[in-house]
Amino acid sequence: MSRVLRSAFKLGSHHATYLLHQQEARIIKSISCYCDYSYKGGQEGGDGESRRDFRTVLTLVGLGGFVAAYVLASKVAAEGKPSKENVNYQKWHTEARTDLPTYKQEVIQKHDTLEKRIWVTYGIGVYDITDFVPKHPGSDKIMLGAGSAIDPFWAIYQQHNNKEILTLLESFRIGNLDKADAVSTEDMGSPWANEPKRHPLLKPASERPFNAEPPISLLAENFLTPNEFFYVRNHLPVPVIDAESYELDVEVEESGISKSFSLDEIKKLPKCTVTAAVMCGGNRRSEMTEVKPVKGLSWSAGAVGNAKWSGAKLRDILLAIGVESDEKRHVIFEGCDLDPTSHPYGASIPLSKAMDERGDVILAYEMNGETINRDHGFPLRVIVPGTVGARNVKWLSRVVVSDSESSSHWQQNDYKGFSPSTDWDTVDFTKSPAIQAMPVTSAICCPSEGDKVQTKDGCIAVKGYAWSGGGRRIVRVDLTADGGESWHVAELEQDDLPDGRHYGWTLWSANLPVPAGQKKIEIWSKAVDSAYNTQPESFKYTWNLRGVLSNAYHRVKVEIE
């Protein structure tokens, strides 16, 4: 590496350090988006006491911070980063730097406090990230993860593998790891080697982890979304599970009751089928982003699907082990998908929802009459009808009845709503409740933005979906083609189920009158649910930093032929 390059790194490091101090609060607060911030070029724990938690927090803050520092790195770029475009930044951490000393793992391990300085290794690079690790009330948690290799984390969170972040990391380089101590990437195996095959029509918002939605024009074609077109939202690699040896652990905290169920045992329980839409809390986020950028996967309106789910009622299982409903308790779900600290994806719902006969919470092994596929949770997932997608935990491994909510990152520091004036400097995730039931929304699936459409008797054919959380039926969908001067009521296609227990979506269609003589029109849709809740007119006043609950009127511009 040239001297110019090295001094540029120093400069970069200095500059970045300064900026990092400025932005440390922001970085800490950005942890909730560490996992998806940089996917697709700029898109989408807990206070637990265990060491695993701490390590997760390190990943989130320390390593995720590198992601958050993307912006800083760009500034560095503007102010003197190496001009040679072809430097092989992906190799830096694999090569020894002759200008720097070599360290043994046991030496590195000792650098695990701010006082002793915080070191990490990546490949055979040794980095001092002390100035990067923000000083904040939870800094004790960061320390516990210090002094170790970050390779396993970055194997999973592949968004780090870009020039800006690797450049920033290299700027913290202080030495080389003794080769004998280096983590071998071959030994680790790729966590992505066993991903299932996906339908080519699913448009990935990120490949690893796999997140994709179907073209929304397809969504209104089928009341039950075909399994292969159903959006996929994975936070981690898809776990490989052998159905024969699979077991679900059900536990009750305090009482100490616990019981394991094989898949066969679960299938012997009374089978029940629920039609329920599952919608990601970030569905339609890309529209909210237009008001002001938000952090998260840039979903269009396709992060939702409607399916018939079959399985055992969670209520039956809980009753069988003697659980009684209690308004104050929770049911925690854990998946088999593990992060690099062996921490599973997790979420919780109120116990009262699980115990409610009309809550229809099921442990599903079938989706639309087929064995549930790997992307959607094989062999077992929980379906919490009417509740945000994040609580519908896939690849279920454990169910725990507890006095507290899940301590997972996704329950505590993500999937929560905030005021439009809350930013990453001021956000306090403990101040907002975790999203459970979702608000009413709708989307126009046909025509699509920019389509040229033909009129028939002064009308155009429009269709879409509408849904509300909490079991509320859709009672009306209003459409306008003249900016709200006149509204037209759509025809609804939905289940004939009582309000409060109506969990599937509603498809709607209409022949919408369009203003005569106008070439360009904008269609708006708004749905009304059984509580007469309706969608907000714009995203402006419901904007939130995470881009969740993005349910304003859906608007589509088309040209009349």
Ligand X SMILES: Nc1nc2c(c(=O)[nH]1)N[C@H]1C(S)=C(S)[C@@H](COP(=O)(O)O)O[C@H]1N2
Beta carbons of 128 and 172 less than 8 angstroms apart: yes
Please state, in angstroms and rounded to a whole number, the distance separating the CA atoms of residues 297 and 33: 9
- The amino acid at residue 330 is H
Of 306-345, which residues contact ligand X (CB under 6 A)? 335, 337, 345
> Is 445 among the residues known to form the active site?
no
Q: Which of 389, 439, 464, 504 binds Mo ion (CB under 5 A)?
A: 389
Beta strands in 394-470 (DSSP E): 396-402, 441-446, 452-453, 459-467
Binding site partner of 65, from Mo ion, ligand X, none, Cβ cut-off 5-8 A by kind? none
285 is catalytic: no
What gap in Å lies between CA 525 and CA 489, rounded to an integer? 10
Encoded one letter per residue, x for contact with Mo ion by CB under 5 A and - for no contact, window 275-294 reads -----x--------------
Residues 343-382 that bind ligand X (CB under 6 A): 345, 376
Residue 157 touching ligand X (CB under 6 A): no
Single out the catalytic residue among 111, 208, 233, 476.
Answer: 233
160 noted as active-site residue: yes
Question: Which one of Mo ion, ligand X, none interacts with residue 231, CB within 5 to 8 A by kind?
Answer: ligand X
Residue 327 one-letter amino acid: E
Query: How far apart are alpha carbons 264 and 286 in whole angstroms?
Result: 42
Site for ligand X in 279-308 (CB under 6 A): 280
Q: Which positions from 225 through 264 interact with ligand X, judged by CB under 6 A? A: 230-236
Place of tokens 């329980």: 269
Short-list 395, 327, 342, CA closest to 365 = 395
Rank residues 175 and 504 by Cβ distance to ligand X and give the closer one. 504
Amino acid of residue 375: D
Least distance between ligand X and beta carbon 536 (Å): 22
136 tagged catalytic:
yes
Binding-residue pattern over the window 93 to 122 for Mo ion, x denoting contact by CB under 5 A = ------------------------------
- Residue 159 CB neighbours (<10 A): 23
Which residues lie below 8 Å from residue 334, measured CB to CB, with a gap of 6+?
344, 345, 346, 393, 396, 397, 398, 399, 400, 406
Per-residue b or e along 83-97, where b marks 16 or more CB atoms closer than 10 Å to that residue's CB: eeeebebeebbeeeb
Give least dist CB 230 to ligand X, A. Answer: 6
Is 280 annotated as catalytic? yes
Q: What is the DSSP string of 284-317?
A: THHHHHTTS--SS----TTSEEEEEEEEEEHHHH
Binders of Mo ion among residues 202 to 261 (CB under 5 A) are 233
Nearer to Mo ion, 338 or 390 (CB): 390
Q: At its nearest, how many Å lie between ligand X and the CB of residue 272?
A: 19
**Residue 103 binds which of ligand X, Mo ion, none (CB < 5-8 A, kind-dependent):** none
Active-site hit among 111, 235, 246, 280 = 280
Contacts to Mo ion by CB under 5 A: 233, 280, 389-390
